[in-house]
Amino acid sequence: MKRKVLITGAAGFIGSKLAEHLTELGFEVVGCDIYNFRNQFFDVGDTHHLTLQRLRFDRIAHFLNRNGIEYHSVDISDHSQVSKLFQKAHPDVVVHLAAQAGVRHSVKAPMDFVKSNLNGFANVIDACKTHGIQQFLYASSSSVYGVRSEAPFRETDRCDAPESFYAATKIANEQMAKAYFAQYRTASLGLRFFTVYGPWGRLDMAPFLFAKKMRSQQAIQLFGEGVLKRDFTYIGDTVFAIARLIQNGISQTQADVVNIGHSNPVQVNDFVQTLADCMNIKPTIELLPMQVSDVPLTCASDDKLRKMIGEWPHTSLSDGLSEMVQWLEKWNPV
C-alpha cells in the first residue's frame, strides 16, 4: 500500500515542489495551507499581497492539481481544524512546513509569527502524538545558529542566541519537539534549511527581489555592504534530501535535527553578479550597512545529512539561477 504523506504549507515554495516530488516517487500526498482561494490573507499588504495570492494559487494548480493531489484549506493555528484534518487524512508521514517565514518581516511584525509558528506548531505536533505518527519532519531554519564566525555550522553547536523573533520561534519549535519526545516519545526530525532558492520561489527572498529590481533597472540595495555570505540551496536539491529522509525513515529514539545545506557559502555580491549574468543585465548596486536581524554568514555542515541519506545533488548557483530566471520570465513577464 502507498504511504500517505501530509504536507502543511503545501501552497508554499518548498511544500508545493515537495508535494509533486513525493507523488512522482509513488507516495500518496495530501496538502494543506491557509490559502483558501478567496481574497482573505493575513500576512502582507498591497500589490505584493495580490502577487503572493496569485503565486500560491498557481503553485496549487501547477504542483498539486496537475498531479491529482488532495488539497485542504486549513489554518494550523486552529486546534479543531488540525484535528479534523488528521482524522480525515490519516497520514503515515507528516512534513510540517507551514509557517510565517521571513526574518526581516519578523522585525516589523513579530506578533504575526506567534499564531502560525508557535500555536500552529503546537497543534501539529500534538496531532502527531494523538495519531501516533512515527515519521514527523518539520521545518526549522539556519537562523537558529544566530551570529557566528566559526564555520561550518554543526547540529551539535549551541543555538540559544537568536538574532530575530523568527529565529526564536524556530528554536522554540525544536525545544517543543524535544519536550514531546521526553513526555510522549513522539519522535521528530527538524530540517534546518539554508536559503532555499529556485523556480516558484518566495517573493520576499533576495533572488526574486534582486531579479525584479534588475528587470526594472532599479538599484539593488545590498545590506552588510554586499559581503554577507549565504549558503544557498537549490529547491530541487532540497526536496531530494527531504524525500530521501522520508524513504529512509527517521530515528524513533529522539527529537533530532539536521542541516539541509551544502557548506558552500557565497558572498551576496557574487550572487548578484551570477544572477545578472543569467539575466544578461548590468546591475546597479547600492551598498548599505547591515540591518537588525541579519547574520553575516550561514554555512551548513552537511556531514550529518550525508550520513543519513548518502550523497545528494548540488546544483550550481548559475544553473539554479538560470532555472529561476526562466521560470520568472514565464510567470511574471512584466
Ligand X SMILES: NC(=O)c1ccc[n+]([C@@H]2O[C@H](COP(=O)([O-])OP(=O)(O)OC[C@H]3O[C@@H](n4cnc5c(N)ncnc54)[C@H](O)[C@@H]3O)[C@@H](O)[C@H]2O)c1
C-alpha cell at 229: 555570505
Q: Quick one: which segment of 94-102, 150-158, 251-259, 295-303 binds ligand X (CB under 6 A)?
A: 94-102
Residue 63 beta carbon to ligand X: minimum distance, rounded to whole angstroms = 12
Burial zone of 151 (CB within 10 Å; 0-12 exposed, 13-18 middle, 19+ buried): middle
Q: Quick one: which segment of 27-35, 222-230, 239-247, 293-301 binds ligand X (CB under 6 A)?
A: 27-35
Residue 93: which of 205, 146, 18 has the closest Cα?
Answer: 18
* CB 269, CB 222: distance < 8 Å: yes
Closer CB to ligand X, 123 or 135, in the complex:
123
- Does position 98 bind ligand X by CB under 6 A? yes
> Which residues are annotated as catalytic?
166
* CB 219, CB 276: distance < 8 Å: no
Of residues 132 through 191, those in contact with ligand X by CB under 6 A are: 139, 141
Question: DSSP secondary-structure letter at 47?
Answer: H
Over its C-alpha atoms, the chain yields an Rg (Å, rounded) of 19
Residue 147 beta carbon to ligand X: minimum distance, rounded to whole angstroms = 16
- Does position 35 bind ligand X by CB under 6 A? yes
Residue 76 beta carbon to ligand X: minimum distance, rounded to whole angstroms = 4
CA 199, CA 197: separation in Å to the nearest integer?
A: 7
- Does position 261 bind ligand X by CB under 6 A? no
- Does position 293 bind ligand X by CB under 6 A? no
Of residues 229 through 248, those in contact with ligand X by CB under 6 A are: none
**How many chain residues are in contact with ligand X, going by CB under 6 A?**
28
Residue 284 beta carbon to ligand X: minimum distance, rounded to whole angstroms = 26
Residue 318 beta carbon to ligand X: minimum distance, rounded to whole angstroms = 19
Q: Quick one: which segment of 31-39, 223-231, 271-279, 302-310 binds ligand X (CB under 6 A)?
A: 31-39
Residue 93 beta carbon to ligand X: minimum distance, rounded to whole angstroms = 16
Distance between the two ends of the chain, CA-based, in angstroms? 46
Count CA within 13 A, CB hemisphere, residue 10. 31
Residue 297 C-alpha from the chain's centroid: 18
CA 52, CA 36: separation in Å to the nearest integer?
A: 13
Helices (H) and strands (E) in the chain, counts: 12, 13
Closer CB to ligand X, 82 or 280, in the complex:
82
- Does position 75 bind ligand X by CB under 6 A? yes
Question: What percent of the chain is helix, strand and coil (3-state, nearest 5)?
Answer: 45, 15, 35
- Does position 19 bind ligand X by CB under 6 A? no
Binding positions for ligand X, rule: CB under 6 A:
9, 11-15, 33-35, 56, 74-77, 97-101, 115-116, 120, 139, 141, 193, 195-196, 202
